[in-house]
């Protein structure tokens, strides 16, 4: 069954309404019937091995799907195919989503490309193929919950990309608010808004609750991710420098009307992927295991979301029977870092397992921690504004902020990983930093719980080692405000 037929189901009782509204739409707008062949909404993502996936939309039937590319001239060609996508709504909104994979790229080499067909080509963009050398320290922008309206961090992110700050971008769920709305035009607008960064830096994703409409059809059709065998981008993994990244869906646990079996299916895939990542040769090459998914296991917000519960669904699994909970699985296989969003705020947790802090010292809790570290970064900006925190801070919560902003991460090498939080409200000021340091990666040892509480000395020490932003050291940063 095609994605289209799976996702676009029309009840017979709606037929008359459908025809009336469809004809009205054609009469009133006529937009998509007359739109030209010009590619738009261009974005790229890592493909298998050293390929790059180029995706774009047109509004004209019958166009070819061509990428012209090369290192100094457009002397290579890759062909793909287009799929008709009808936004699952009662109005016509038909677009053609073109996907082409550019294969056999030379690691670390910069390519130029344009996409489209003879009837209409995009302007020329460039990207850098994924590196494969052991000295690569990839830099990544991380955020979730960015809408089309009130996308406050977007200008600054684009400016960062223009300064070549990132090798990849991870959007941790919740796009556009919502892609299906306005008969799909909110999604189109959002994809155009992110094009200046997503057409030049791989834009890696996971689904959030705002993608749920019609079984995540907009998300499944608009994005294309590597290693995605049968899940329509809902879960997949890829390697980037010294890290193995696993993207998955927390939404299976909440939208069970689309199939309870998906929880089990994904869980088994997660376990198999983690087992493989822990094979000695794989873990030696990619020692950091990083997960990204939308809804956190823990948070200290005051909105009564799942993560505020002592037994959140994601952490403990299906209530009462506690099946398919992910905390034990991630602990068992030594996940180092878990990245979340959904809460429209930023929160850095101390190393945590089973609601207890597992630091090894009070001086630097992120030095050889004996449990995963969690970061929630869902404050990029959207129409729903902020999610506030509860007055009482949890003992495992190390830093929190409701400023609009996003996170930068640099995976320095096999032992050092750096993260910082950028406040857009504070004009690009770095408001939080963390060095996660581990000389060994792998399953955590079962150990007696020993918690080293924060002290004045440890706070001073943390402040001293975290004084400088390594991103600021790398590049001269100027945060000119781009007019919207
Ligand atoms: Fe969300």
pLDDT, tens digit (0-9, with 9 covering 90-100), for 179-207: 999 989 999 999 999 999 999 999 999 99
User: Residues with Cβ < 8 Å from 449, sequence gap 6 or more?
Assistant: 356, 358
- Percentage of the chain exceeding pLDDT 70: 83
Centroid of ligand 1 to alpha carbon of 322 (angstroms): 23
Q: Domain boundary residue among 105, 132, 159?
A: 132
Contact 211, 178 (CB under 8 A): yes
Contact 280, 238 (CB under 8 A): no
Centroid of ligand 1 to alpha carbon of 36 (angstroms): 34
Calculate the average pLDDT of the chain: 87
Q: Is the pLDDT of residue 172 over 70?
A: yes
Q: Structure pTM?
A: 0.88
Q: Are residues 204 and 56 part of one domain? A: no
For residue 141, is it within any domain?
Answer: yes
Task: Please tell me whether residue 26 adopts helix, strand or coil conformation.
Answer: helix
> Given this model, what pLDDT does residue 393 score?
81
Residue 469 phi, psi dihedral angles, 5° rounding: -80, 125
Q: Domain boundary residue among 97, 132, 167?
A: 132
Contact 101, 93 (CB under 8 A): no
User: Quick one: how far is CA 397 from the chain centroid?
Assistant: 23
The runs of H, that is alpha helices, within 29-170 are 31-34, 154-162
Q: Are residues 287 and 256 part of one domain? A: yes
For 311, the domain range is 136-446+453-475
Contact 82, 58 (CB under 8 A): yes
Centroid of ligand 1 to alpha carbon of 87 (angstroms): 21
For residue 7, is it within any domain?
Answer: no
User: Residues with Cβ < 8 Å from 450, sequence gap 6 or more?
Assistant: none
The predicted model gives 436-463 an average pLDDT of 71
Task: Please tell me whether residue 375 adopts helix, strand or coil conformation.
Answer: strand
Q: Is the pLDDT of residue 356 over 60?
A: yes
Please identify which residue in the block is written with the tokens 């039937």. 61
Q: Are residues 281 and 168 part of one domain? A: yes
Centroid of ligand 1 to alpha carbon of 207 (angstroms): 9
Overall domain count for the chain: 2
Q: Are residues 178 and 165 part of one domain? A: yes
How many residues does the structure list for the chain? 484
User: Residues with Cβ < 8 Å from 132, sequence gap 6 or more?
Assistant: 50, 107, 108
For 221, the token pair is 């059709």
Q: Are residues 144 and 108 part of one domain? A: no
For residue 484, is it within any domain?
Answer: no
Centroid of ligand 1 to alpha carbon of 173 (angstroms): 7
Centroid of ligand 1 to alpha carbon of 302 (angstroms): 15
> Given this model, what pLDDT does residue 134 score?
86
For residue 15, is it within any domain?
Answer: no
Q: Domain boundary residue among 102, 132, 162?
A: 132
Q: Are residues 52 and 153 part of one domain? A: no
| Gap between the Cα atoms of 332 and 328, Å rounded | 6
Centroid of ligand 1 to alpha carbon of 10 (angstroms): 27
CATH number where 328 lies = 3.60.21.10
CATH number where 115 lies = 2.60.40.380
For residue 304, is it within any domain?
Answer: yes
Q: Are residues 147 and 127 part of one domain? A: no
Beta strands in 343-453 (DSSP E): 346-349, 352-353, 356-357, 373-377, 397-401, 405-411, 416-423, 429-437
Centroid of ligand 1 to alpha carbon of 294 (angstroms): 7
For residue 4, is it within any domain?
Answer: no
Q: Are residues 329 and 199 part of one domain? A: yes
pLDDT category of residue 477 using cuts at 50, 70 and 90: very low
For residue 29, is it within any domain?
Answer: no
């Amino acid at each position: 069954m095609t994605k289209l037929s799976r996702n676009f189901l029309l009840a017979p009782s709606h037929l008359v309404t459908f025809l009336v509204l469809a004809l009205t739409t054609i009469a009133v707008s006529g937009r998509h019937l007359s739109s030209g062949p010009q590619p738009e909404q261009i974005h790229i993502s890592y493909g298998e091995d050293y390929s790059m996936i180029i995706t774009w939309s047109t509004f004209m039937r019958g166009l070819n799907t061509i990428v012209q590319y090369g290192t100094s001239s457009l002397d290579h060609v890759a062909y793909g195919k287009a799929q008709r996508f009808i936004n699952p709504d009662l109005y016509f909104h038909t677009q053609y989503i073109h996907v082409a994979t550019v294969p056999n790229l030379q690691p670390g080499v910069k390519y130029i490309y344009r996409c489209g067909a003879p009837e209409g080509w995009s302007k020329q963009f460039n990207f850098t193929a994924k590196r494969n050398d052991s000295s690569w320290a990839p830099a990544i922008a991380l955020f979730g919950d960015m809408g089309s309206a009130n996308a406050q961090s977007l200008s600054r992110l684009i400016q960062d990309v223009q300064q070549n700050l990132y090798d990849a971008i991870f959007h941790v769920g919740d796009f556009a608010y919502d892609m299906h709305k306005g008969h799909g035009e909110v999604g189109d607008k959002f994809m155009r808004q992110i094009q200046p960064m997503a057409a030049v830096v791989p834009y890696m994703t996971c689904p959030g609750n705002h993608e749920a409409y019609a079984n995540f059809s907009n998300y499944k059709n608009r994005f294309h991710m590597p290693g995605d065998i049968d899940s329509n981008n809902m879960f997949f993994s890829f390697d980037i420098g010294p890290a193995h990244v696993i993207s998955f869906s927390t939404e299976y646990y909440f939208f069970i009307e689309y199939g309870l079996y998906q929880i089990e299916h994904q869980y088994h895939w997660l376990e198999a992927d983690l087992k493989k990542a822990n094979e000695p040769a794989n873990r030696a090459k990619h020692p950091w295991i990083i997960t990204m998914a939308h809804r956190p296991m823990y948070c200290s917000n005051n909105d009564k979301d799942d993560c505020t519960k002592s037994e959140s669904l994601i952490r403990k699994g299906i209530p009462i029977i506690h099946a398919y909970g992910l905390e034990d699985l991630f602990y068992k296989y030594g996940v180092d870092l878990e990245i979340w969003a959904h809460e429209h705020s930023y929160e850095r947790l101390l190393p945590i397992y089973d609601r207890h802090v597992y630091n090894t010292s009070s001086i630097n809790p992120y030095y050889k921690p004996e449990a995963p570290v969690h970061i929630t970064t869902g404050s990029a900006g959207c129409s729903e504004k902020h999610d506030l925190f509860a007055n009482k801070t949890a003992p495992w919560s190390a830093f929190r902020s409701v400023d609009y902003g996003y996170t930068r991460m640099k995976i320095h090498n096999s032992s050092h990983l750096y993260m910082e939080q950028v406040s857009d409200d504070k004009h690009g000021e770095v408001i939080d930093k963390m060095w996660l340091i581990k000389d060994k990666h792998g399953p955590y040892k079962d150990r007696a719980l020993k918690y080293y509480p924060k002290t004045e000395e440890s706070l001073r020490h943390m402040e001293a080692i975290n004084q400088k932003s390594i991103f600021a050291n790398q590049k001269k940063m100027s945060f000119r405000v781009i007019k919207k």
